[in-house]
Structure 1
């Protein structure tokens, strides 16, 4: 492990204002094209929702030094363009010097804590559009889950529309991750991953706010992606999803989806940072080659 938390703690205690200085002075990416022509984003906003599991380990993402070490190693690989996360992790990475020249996407709504009775209430408790612009980051990401049986979903819809509006007014990407969701027989929130459900969620998301000029959709990969990608004219970022025991099959599905010109990138979290076998560099390099 190469990350020394003392470096972070010393700065946070002794010179917290240094964080804002680093955010504003860091080298910025020229655009959202990506080194391969598509963006490869490392995502790690899961802990802020209390979602710490990766594979069979329920607390995989709970060790902050280990998590940061994996992120730093991934960001250092050729072809990796940026990071998506909440302010605490973004700021740790700034203090470690890992975000120089990288696309940074701030995670905005993390109020729907995993496993709670209020999980579907995805309130905006993270980054604001104003803060993202002030820090010189490139956009904001929001989770938009629609439960047809939960009247509270409309509040999340309205909040996502407002955030999209505020980001667009500043010329910043609004990355919307939409799902049709429901509670199973045990009360656990699950996402419906049929083509029909993903198409419906994507088309609703594309219509949020008074402009879609800066809106990108972050969509899950399923076996039949053709109707999903045919449903929108917006740029699509593929969602990496859960850690798969069959990484070969997962990579094959990603490779098929990447053949579409609408797919402008990938945002991968646990399946990249905690791959089967644990070799982060090998997983990153395989995805870069695929892209």
Structure 2
């Protein structure tokens, strides 16, 4: 794995808080979002919702230095276009010099904490569109869960629609991650992952905001993905989720879904950063080949 001096990051934050703004201003940006029309992004915004588990390890992402080491390894592999994260994570990577030439997508609503009674009232507590634009990031992502049995859905939809509009005004990607969701208990929320539920969520997400010109969707890989992806003409990034089963089976599902014209790449966090064998570089290389093939 790559070696990243997290002690130096902390010392720099103490001595020079203005280094973050200066680093964003000096970051070397891409000339285009994607060279081949496809993207492979590594996701690292789970911890801000209190979601630290990977498989059966409830604290897999509890160590920030360990997480940053894995992210550094992933970002240094060919074919990895960039990263999705909250301000704290992206700024650590920025100060470490790992975001030059990379796509940086800021996670916007992290207020729906995992297991909270207010989980579905998913407030925008991280990035806003103006800050993303001012710092030169390429876009913003919003989790948008639709639960017909929970009043928290209404303010979340309103806030997501507003964010889509504001991001579009700045010419930035609005990455919407929709789910049709049910509340099983006051503190247990479950995403519905059958094809028809995902299709319903796609139609709700596609209509958010005053324009869809800059909207991309972030979607789970489920059964009947051809029918699911036929629900939209918007570019879709497939998410990895919490990995289960054998990695080879997961890669095969990703590859099949990526063959659809609406599929524009992958946004994967835990499945690449915490592979069963611990080999982050190899897992990332497989994903890069699936997304970019011989073009990387």
Q: Tell me the TM-score range normalised by the shorter chain.
A: over 0.9
TM-score, normalised to structure 1's length?
0.97
Preserved CA contact (<8 Å) 2:117 2:186: no
- Structure 1 window deviating more from structure 2 (19-28 vs 178-187): it is 178-187
Q: CA RMSD in A?
A: 1.1
Preserved CA contact (<8 Å) 1:112 1:120: yes
Ranges in structure 2 where 5+ consecutive residues have no aligned partner: 292-296
1:74-89 mapped onto 2 (5 Å cutoff): 74-89=74-89
Q: Paired residue for 2:72? A: 72
Q: CA deviation at 1:168?
A: 0.3
SS of aligned partner of 1:171: coil
Cα shift readout 1:141-192 (whole Å, capped 9, x = no counterpart) = 0000011101220110000000001000000000000000112258411100
1:3-42 mapped onto 2 (5 Å cutoff): 3-34=4-35, 37-42=37-42
SS of aligned partner of 2:71: helix
Determine the C-alpha separation between the residues in 2 that align with 1:246 and 1:223: 17
Task: Return closer, same or farther for 1:284/1:229 CA change in 2, 3 Å cut-off.
Answer: same
Determine the C-alpha separation between the residues in 2 that align with 1:104 and 1:63: 22
Preserved CA contact (<8 Å) 1:223 1:253: no
Q: CA deviation at 1:245?
A: 3.1
- Structure 1 window deviating more from structure 2 (185-194 vs 123-132): it is 185-194
Q: List structure 1 segments (4+ residues) > 6 angstroms apart after TM superposition.
A: none
Q: Paired residue for 1:161? A: 161
Determine the C-alpha separation between the residues in 2 that align with 1:224 and 1:41: 24
Determine the C-alpha separation between the residues in 2 that align with 1:269 and 1:29: 22
1:177 corresponds to 2:187: no
- Structure 1 window deviating more from structure 2 (241-250 vs 189-198): it is 241-250
1:99 corresponds to 2:85: no
Determine the C-alpha separation between the residues in 2 that align with 1:91 and 1:54: 23
Determine the C-alpha separation between the residues in 2 that align with 1:178 and 1:118: 18
Q: CA deviation at 1:5?
A: 1.4
SS of aligned partner of 1:163: helix
Cα shift readout 1:115-142 (whole Å, capped 9, x = no counterpart) = 1111111000000000000110000000
Ranges in structure 1 where 5+ consecutive residues have no aligned partner: none
Determine the C-alpha separation between the residues in 2 that align with 1:83 and 1:41: 5
Determine the C-alpha separation between the residues in 1 that align with 2:89 and 2:185: 34
Determine the C-alpha separation between the residues in 2 that align with 1:186 and 1:126: 25
Q: Paired residue for 1:244? A: 244
Determine the C-alpha separation between the residues in 1 that align with 2:194 and 2:243: 19
1:201-216 mapped onto 2 (5 Å cutoff): 201-216=201-216
Determine the C-alpha separation between the residues in 1 that align with 2:198 and 2:245: 24
Preserved CA contact (<8 Å) 1:245 1:276: no
Q: CA deviation at 1:226?
A: 1.4
Preserved CA contact (<8 Å) 2:180 2:197: yes
Q: CA deviation at 1:227?
A: 1.6
Q: CA deviation at 1:83?
A: 0.5
Cα shift readout 1:73-116 (whole Å, capped 9, x = no counterpart) = 00000000001000000000011111011000000000000011
Q: Paired residue for 1:221? A: 221
Q: Paired residue for 2:141? A: 141
What is the number of residues matched between the two proteins? Answer: 290
